[in-house]
A = this chain, B = another copy of it.
Amino acid sequence: MMTLAEVRAFLDREFPQIAANARYTVEEVLPRGARLRAAYHESQIRPGGTISGPTMMALADLSLYVTVLAAIGPVALAVTTNLNINFLRRPAPRDLISESRLLKLGNRLAVGEVTIFSEGEEEPVAHVTGTYSLPPR
């Protein structure tokens, strides 16, 4: 399993675009899970003062990618094959927190789920499941 520092270093090296916009932070890596933060920025705002759906979809995809990466190591790339998102409540104009966990880590596929919260709120704003195709190990 990769440590938090190893995951951060890998993302900085392999996804410089993500690092460049400084929006997403991996806050914790667990044996089969992760917690990330998406910093609030007014460019994400949509009519009604809420945060855009694509902002949440991007956070969910990165969260699951990090969760899979931490579990299988930095050997090669996992590819998203399916992502299903349910938007539950309009997020407040604040940071988003994602909590992800693996439901399955197979030889060829990994499946996980992500719950996204507005920081400081108990009820989730979105729930996501995703599937990743794994390279031969």
The answer to whether B53 touches A80 (Cβ under 8 A) is yes
| In the complex, chain B residues whose CB is within 8 Å of the CB of A73 | none
Interface string of A56-99 (1 = CB under 8 A from B): 01100100000000000000010111111111111000000000
User: Complex Cα distance A53/B123, Å?
Assistant: 27
Categorize the interface residue count of chain A. Answer: 35 or more
A120 lies within 8 A of chain B by Cβ? no
The residue that A58 contacts in the complex, of B57, B80, B108, with Cβ under 8 A, is B57
| In the complex, chain B residues whose CB is within 8 Å of the CB of A58 | 54, 57-58
Of the listed residues A85, A86, A109, the one surrounded by the most CB atoms of chain B closer than 10 A to its CB is A86
A111 lies within 8 A of chain B by Cβ? yes
The answer to whether A47 touches B14 (Cβ under 8 A) is yes
